[in-house]
Amino acid sequence: MAEDIVTRCALPTNARVFGPQSNLQSPHRDGAALLVVRDGTSKDDRPEKGNQSVSSGLHLRLPIIGIAPDPARHLPQALLRTVEHKLTLPAFDESALTLVIEAVAGTTPTTHIDPDLVRLIELDDLPLAIRSYRTADQCIEALDEIVRRKGEHLGSGPSLEELEGYGKAKDWGLELARDLADLKAGRLVWEEVDHKGLLLSGPTGVGKTQFARALAKSARVPLVATSVAQWNAASYLSGTLQAIRNAFAQARRQAPCILFIDEIDGISDRAQLRGEYVEYWSQIVNLLLELLAGVDERSGVVVIAATNHPDRIDPAIKRAGRLDREIVIEKPGVQALARIFRYHLGAELLADTDLTQLAIASQGATGADIEAIVRRAKGAARRERRPLAISDLLGEIRSGQPSIPAEHRWRIAVHEVGHAVVARELQTGAILGLSIHDLGGTLHIENNIAGTATLARLKAEMAVLLAGRAAERLVLGEASIGSGMLPTSDLGRATGLACAIEARCGMGQFGSVYIEIANDFANIPGLLTAVRKQLHEAEERAADILIDRMATLRTVAAELERRGYLSGDEIERIIAVDDARAQAAAHMETAIPARQRSGKMS
């Protein structure tokens, strides 16, 4: 567009216009000019390209005009060194849009023009919306519709503030949204923005793409969404490379904006490349690294990439100045799941229903799973011409599977509360909650084991892990197999800690030694005996604690069995009430004999 305006308005009619690739070896008639137009999308849009044509044009006394969004990075260096006049076009704003509409439609708009809408307008959008047969306000409406299709943040969907279960990713995004607001307002420069690249990883369905959309909505900036699959849809390598350049170029044109790259693990790690595809993929990786590294060249462009397999990504992509922050989006916990259910149900449906039971039953689900569950349940109720019921949602969650029998719920409740009571007593981490669901039970706890853990800390952790077995033994007479069977089970993890104490941490009877343990550690003389001793002591320690807190164990387990979920605060309140009752009872037991003795003396 700028090239057309310069040709029509700045040069003589029928002037012969040459580009930087033209042959300028011989003089030309008056009216000729050299026009260098670059938008940064081509690999040749660099200062080191086109300098010979500029030199030739100067010797032939041709007027030379350069047009670029960022002249210092896009135009030939020779042109910048010899330039005599610089003209900076102001940004297209509300007043300019009003003048265009008035010139075409003949009237001035009366409706408010959103500044964010104007910022997304490209000149090519104007003739699509502004027509002489439309009123000024109708032109605004048409332009709004055209631009909204490009700027996803202006459309429907949740903002980042409304999303649940995103943890550190949400914190990062909200901080970025504030920075981008300051950037647009001129209170911050791009160099001061520290959130410029993010690698989002996590299992399928946790909402990585939704995160990018919601962030763009909260920050009120455009979202340019692409993927490695789209890049690789080109038939040839040149097409793939151009698709990558185009994605970054589009983002630069709409900056400040979010450039979201999905399936980034589709670009291979160069260290793992083999055979005939090495050169092909190396060029793709190298171009992506070049574009990511050019933070200054992509001013205002925040790059967020998503992957299900962070281990498959070339390490150079995650180096400083590129995607140097990695955040894993975990599956949401019980409280987050309840809020996700409420979001998808809306404020009216099941308004007075506690959705915790749905969250407990759907543990392990993702936000996408919850959306599908609610959609299917609504559909079932709609087809039967009746209101949505909680049973519809539970039916979709369980997919026809029966709920846990009552006798199993009690055992699970006793087991999980046993973990919580011992963890609370030994202070091994903050207890977030307890739950019973269709797959069993869960203690939600913030575990604080780290490289600074001592022998006492490891032994305390073993006691917590084996407290479920101890609780079952004390209350029900025997332990179930649920605490074992798998390496990730309570017994499996406790055994792993005991092995580490004895053979890898230098804290057991073998002394300061590291022993590499295969699957069958019993083949190492004396190790099995030492491990069994560690496990026995840990379980007995847990049992001793539970015997002293038996009333608490039973009270909390009964409440957990009834409700299915208890938050950490609710557990503390129940224990506080139970302790108060115990203290009152103890006070009465000591007070009665004293009064009796007083009566006898009188």
pTM: 0.64
Inside any domain, residue 87 = no
**Residue given tokens 């160099």 in the structure block:** 191
Give the pLDDT of residue 153.
60
255 and 305 part of one domain: yes
Give the pLDDT of residue 600.
45
381 and 520 part of one domain: no
- Token readout for 573 is 């309140």
| Domain encompassing residue 249 | 158-328
Give the pLDDT of residue 602.
32
Give the pLDDT of residue 25.
61
Which has the closest alpha carbon to 247: 223, 281, 266? Answer: 223
444 and 473 part of one domain: yes
Give the pLDDT of residue 518.
58
416 is catalytic: yes
Of 398, 428, 445, which residue constitutes the final position of a domain?
A: 398
Contacts of residue 191, defined as CB under 8 A and 6 or more positions apart, other chains included, come to: 296
424 and 558 part of one domain: yes
Dump pLDDT digits (tens) for 285-294.
888 888 888 7
234 and 131 part of one domain: no
Of 305, 328, 351, which residue constitutes the final position of a domain?
A: 328
420 and 363 part of one domain: no
117 and 169 part of one domain: no
Inside any domain, residue 246 = yes
Q: Radius of gyration of the chain from Cα atoms?
A: 34
Of 328, 360, 389, which residue constitutes the final position of a domain?
A: 328
Is residue 82 helix, strand or coil? helix
- Token readout for 483 is 């605490």
- Token readout for 262 is 């999905």
Inside any domain, residue 90 = no
**Is the Cβ–Cβ distance between 438 and 398 less than 8 Å?**
yes
Which has the closest alpha carbon to 130: 91, 98, 154? Answer: 98
The total of structural domains in the chain comes to 5
Q: What is the CATH number of the domain that holds 349?
A: 1.10.8.60
318 and 339 part of one domain: no
Inside any domain, residue 591 = no
Give the pLDDT of residue 465.
94
Amino acid at 499: C
Inside any domain, residue 602 = no
241 and 177 part of one domain: yes
- Considering the candidates 164, 416, 472, 502, report the single residue annotated as catalytic: 416
Inside any domain, residue 471 = yes
Residue numbers in the chain where pLDDT is lower than 50: 597-602
324 and 188 part of one domain: yes
Inside any domain, residue 588 = no
358 and 324 part of one domain: no
